[in-house]
Amino acid sequence: MTSSAHGPDRPVPPLGAQPRREGAGQADAVVRCVSPGSGAAAMLTAAPLPDRPGARLSGDCDLDSRQVLASALGIVTRIPGPVVHLDLSAVVFLDAAAVAALVHASATFTAQGRRLLLHDPPYSLRKVVEMFPDECAALEVAA
């Protein structure tokens, strides 16, 4: 195990999402993955938004965190409300597969008659949308 922001005396949680109840109707997941061979912990987190239904993602969304992102988005799709907000302002990087996961989550919301509204997407998401506009048409970004 590597030390992390939790400190050297605390264990690093295993790979995967760990839902935790934070009051009525809120959930948050803290997930961590370790890059193979590097020993460096790369953390992806999803925490509830304090002022509206939704979550804030932080970290990198790439090959090393693909399963973790899927788990976090699974939690986000269970947040109640007609519009759920996903704050991406603290996401450093999204690869094409991570963008595809967001498209899938958005399609899940649409099928439920709801909306997933993305806020402050990173440059990498905007570039993938430019390269694949038809495939990413389901994504809705706040102005």
State the pLDDT confidence band at 44, using cuts at 50, 70 and 90. Answer: confident
Q: What is the side-by-side order of every strand in the sheet holding 140-141?
A: 19-21, 27-34, 41-48, 54-61, 83-94, 115-119, 140-141
Task: Reply yes or no on whether the pLDDT at 10 is more than 50.
Answer: no
Average pLDDT of the chain?
A: 78
Residue 57 CA to residue 86 CA, distance in Å, equals 7
Residue 27 CA to residue 113 CA, distance in Å, equals 21
Q: Render pLDDT for 62-88 as a digit per residue (tens, 0 to 9).
A: 888 888 898 889 989 999 999 999 999
Look up the pTM and report it.
0.73
At residue 63, the 3 state secondary structure works out as helix
Cβ atoms 18, 70 nearer than 8 A: no
Task: Reply yes or no on whether the pLDDT at 116 is more than 70.
Answer: yes
- What is the pLDDT at residue 42? 53
Mind giving me the DSSP string for 8-44?
A: TTSPPPPSS--EEE-STT-EEEEEEEE-TTT--EEEE
